[in-house]
Structure 1
């Protein structure tokens, strides 16, 4: 048995020094023994607030304005979407402290030890996509701001250099891991927070809460507004697979489930809503909306705010980009266990940069981001719902962390092996829900066969969750899982 999967009483303190600022974290998706979990709900709150104070998240407040909504309509869609998304992912906030590992590995208790690779792949897609957006927005702000301030070039070469600067800082911090990421948020939050407040002051003279393009993206107000809500739901859902990266460091003997869930949800809501409000506010000052929020932001910024804007671009890379690159490294390691976390982090970093260039070059930003969000939502929605049902109904919050690590150690069998590593009770509903979602999704890059089934409304997310979750509950009723929770405590120890 490896050190990572030994009972807590047999584990020494050799790894404790690793999870500190400035030290490269050695643990990947291994089980973190209870005695070595020294994080707090406050740390988690700061990670998800600071990680969202970035231009790559701000653009999700700008998107509803580009859809034809005004400021208050955009704010309302963001708030409603965030609340719905957070309600759906509450069980996901508790998996990490129960299992001592990240959420995709934990999902093996529901999907099977091989079936969990579906969750790892989903998380990897989310992480790479959002990391690419972080590098793109911060790099563009850096180049455009420097052009206005110092007259530096604003050509393809300049943008390549700008993207590279942001990418290097993101990868460098992500390689250090959890301890360094948590410590940096204590500096990022106050600085980025002040910069956002100063930004509101800078753009306030041109603000018009009633300004809108007058042309709704989906033809009418309600379909467009509900589409904006769907985009907003994607924010919390994108974190559902990765919150375990941080909650696995929480000692369940010191902190309650309520403390952990509140810290995660409050941090995500505060960070996402603050940046969405900033994006909608600043976009409501633009006389004309171009396909690039960052370009409009820099062009419309007062001269005195350009330096703070450059700082915000760099801080955004520290926050959002690092969280996603760190998550992507863990996810790829769970798919290819023979690689170390540092190796997988470097691989996914390279993929994220390629995705970023393709997204910028192949199509415009609005189409890329909206299409990515609604498509990933159609798959993430049923995955999150099935995991939530698995946590509440099938497992009743009880997990065997040693059994969850068997596949990563090259071993078969065990409590969560099911049928050759696949639990078809959960996998088939996931595939059904995802298929229904993808068949009904609305986006600008391709037309799904059943996109207009609801008269222009995008029902892909609720429909995919309803089908996936309903089919899983039905499967549990017809084909019950017996004896799988015997002898396992609620804390998984």
Structure 2
């Protein structure tokens, strides 16, 4: 598809009909919206029970309340990165999975998007569907439906079907309903938090206070778990791409970052406080079960509704952007069939996890391993948009011929691929999890430096190599 062909078709971006547009370039006449609209789009997915779960994990790691909250605030600063790259969407007028051709080359980008678009997309679909499956199943168990297999599977299928439907209607519906969802979810979770606060042990101290290397190990592991959320949203350009080309990148960055960071800080901190009032047996049963036991009978179903709405908000966005990733790879699919395929894969993975793990175990392991890919990829994207100053030519991005601007070396951008591989390698050897501890992490007392070192290496390698002949773009 050439840039000219991409502009010829006309699409309607409305909340009342399915969006047929995929990665096609959005012409200036079709641009609409304001940067501040993005705040609620990112806030709705962020009001999540997953934040409660992650916050509770920080207490399990042995941190004091103030230490855990300090780590949360530090990790929330990483939301600036999805904000920075979001403005590349309006600049190019297309999906971020097409913009990354400028970083990895025409062929290299196919592999990158296949892995990142599918891996990160499928993991987050399954992880958030998992939360609603566990809580929905627990609620139904309390009213007599206690089949341990078919009840959670049934909840998963119903929630995923609604999610896929929202993704099919696409951008227009997301812009229309997400502000409403954000307000409803905020009210529900604030009410839930109100019932959690009386159970908080404000004098809480860790059973075995940490110090020295042990403290830094717990802090760094907690930071990595938290960092995986903002660093995974490399799809932020997809949501912003309809904005007018003249929209200020700083405004887009601020709305995106604040929309993601504020609920992240508030409700992850509530998760920290929740954990101080729970016994060890409560963690073994699951955070979802523990929450139900703390709430009055009438509020349990309301919380489940909130979890389901949040799941739909987050996963509809993920399914929506992942469908365009399939198109960018080169599959000759319209966006709607692609969205259905992504949703079916995510549903299958969720059902497997429902039958094989707990929410806490699944969340911690998946979130830590995600940074091996997401951290370096985010660093490379940020360097690219800053060095180009948000100048992306859509004609060049859609020119996939040999010798085109982003063909680079045999279709591969050596700077981008080398930075991603080296950054991922450094991340892996510095990572510390229950099932894997990299040699560097192990040698320094399991202090996890995977996120900062992996991102620094990826950004440095890409910035330096892009200035050489390896990063030269071919133009007539």
TM normalised by structure 1 equals 0.88
| Cα distance per residue 1:367-416 (max 9 Å; x no partner) | 332222222212222222122222222x3432111121233xxx444211
Alpha-carbon spacing, 1:281–1:399, altered in 2? closer, same or farther (3 Å): same
| Cα distance per residue 1:12-42 (max 9 Å; x no partner) | 8x31xx3111311111122111221213212
Give the match for residue 420 of structure 2.
Answer: 430
Are the aligned partners of 1:54 and 1:275 in contact in 2 as well (CA < 8 Å)? yes
Are the aligned partners of 2:323 and 2:338 in contact in 1 as well (CA < 8 Å)? yes
* SS of 1:40 mapped into structure 2: coil
Computed over aligned residues only, the root mean square deviation of the Cα atoms, in angstroms, reads 2.5
| Aligned pairs for 1:262-341 within 5 A | 262-288=254-280, 289-291=282-284, 292-341=286-335
1:256 equivalent among 248, 257, 260: 248
Give the match for residue 171 of structure 2.
Answer: 178
2:136 equivalent among 119, 142, 151: 142
Are the aligned partners of 1:386 and 1:468 in contact in 2 as well (CA < 8 Å)? yes
Alpha-carbon spacing, 1:96–1:212, altered in 2? closer, same or farther (3 Å): farther
Are the aligned partners of 2:402 and 2:411 in contact in 1 as well (CA < 8 Å)? yes
| Cα distance per residue 1:223-257 (max 9 Å; x no partner) | 10122122222221111x1101111111122x211
Per-residue deviation, 1:484: 5.7
Per-residue deviation, 1:87: 3.8
Per-residue deviation, 1:216: 8.0
Give the match for residue 246 of structure 1.
Answer: 239
Give the match for residue 96 of structure 2.
Answer: 103
Per-residue deviation, 1:79: 1.1
* SS of 2:19 mapped into structure 1: coil
2:384 equivalent among 390, 397, 403: 390
Give the match for residue 491 of structure 1.
Answer: none
Give the match for residue 448 of structure 1.
Answer: 438
Choose 318-327 or 22-31, whichever is displaced more.
318-327
2:429 equivalent among 418, 434, 439: 439
User: Counterparts of 1:364 and 1:314 in 2: how far apart (Å)?
Assistant: 18
Give the match for residue 32 of structure 1.
Answer: 26
Give the match for residue 490 of structure 1.
Answer: none
Unaligned runs of 5+ in 1: 487-493
Per-residue deviation, 1:93: 2.1
Are the aligned partners of 2:323 and 2:339 in contact in 1 as well (CA < 8 Å)? yes
Kindly indicate whether residue 327 of structure 2 is the aligned counterpart of residue 358 of structure 1: no
| Aligned pairs for 1:394-473 within 5 A | 395-407=388-400, 411-473=401-463
TM normalised by structure 2 equals 0.91
Give the match for residue 114 of structure 1.
Answer: 107
Aligned residues between the structures? 472
Choose 301-310 or 264-273, whichever is displaced more.
301-310
Per-residue deviation, 1:351: 1.7
Alpha-carbon spacing, 1:301–1:217, altered in 2? closer, same or farther (3 Å): farther
Alpha-carbon spacing, 1:89–1:200, altered in 2? closer, same or farther (3 Å): closer
* SS of 1:310 mapped into structure 2: helix
Choose 350-359 or 96-105, whichever is displaced more.
350-359
Alpha-carbon spacing, 1:365–1:308, altered in 2? closer, same or farther (3 Å): closer
Give the match for residue 222 of structure 2.
Answer: 228
Alpha-carbon spacing, 1:152–1:368, altered in 2? closer, same or farther (3 Å): closer
Alpha-carbon spacing, 1:256–1:427, altered in 2? closer, same or farther (3 Å): same
* SS of 2:346 mapped into structure 1: helix
Per-residue deviation, 1:269: 0.8
User: Counterparts of 1:205 and 1:397 in 2: how far apart (Å)?
Assistant: 49
Are the aligned partners of 1:434 and 1:464 in contact in 2 as well (CA < 8 Å)? yes
Alpha-carbon spacing, 1:483–1:424, altered in 2? closer, same or farther (3 Å): closer
Alpha-carbon spacing, 1:242–1:215, altered in 2? closer, same or farther (3 Å): farther
Alpha-carbon spacing, 1:484–1:272, altered in 2? closer, same or farther (3 Å): farther
| Cα distance per residue 1:146-189 (max 9 Å; x no partner) | 333x3332522211112222112111211211111221112211
Are the aligned partners of 1:440 and 1:450 in contact in 2 as well (CA < 8 Å)? yes
User: Counterparts of 1:285 and 1:139 in 2: how far apart (Å)?
Assistant: 25
Per-residue deviation, 1:46: 0.9
| Cα distance per residue 1:89-119 (max 9 Å; x no partner) | 4431221111111222101112111222244
Kindly indicate whether residue 56 of structure 2 is the aligned counterpart of residue 62 of structure 1: yes
Give the match for residue 80 of structure 1.
Answer: 74
Alpha-carbon spacing, 1:113–1:298, altered in 2? closer, same or farther (3 Å): same
Are the aligned partners of 1:70 and 1:209 in contact in 2 as well (CA < 8 Å)? no
User: Counterparts of 1:104 and 1:206 in 2: how far apart (Å)?
Assistant: 45
Are the aligned partners of 2:441 and 2:448 in contact in 1 as well (CA < 8 Å)? yes
Unaligned runs of 5+ in 2: none
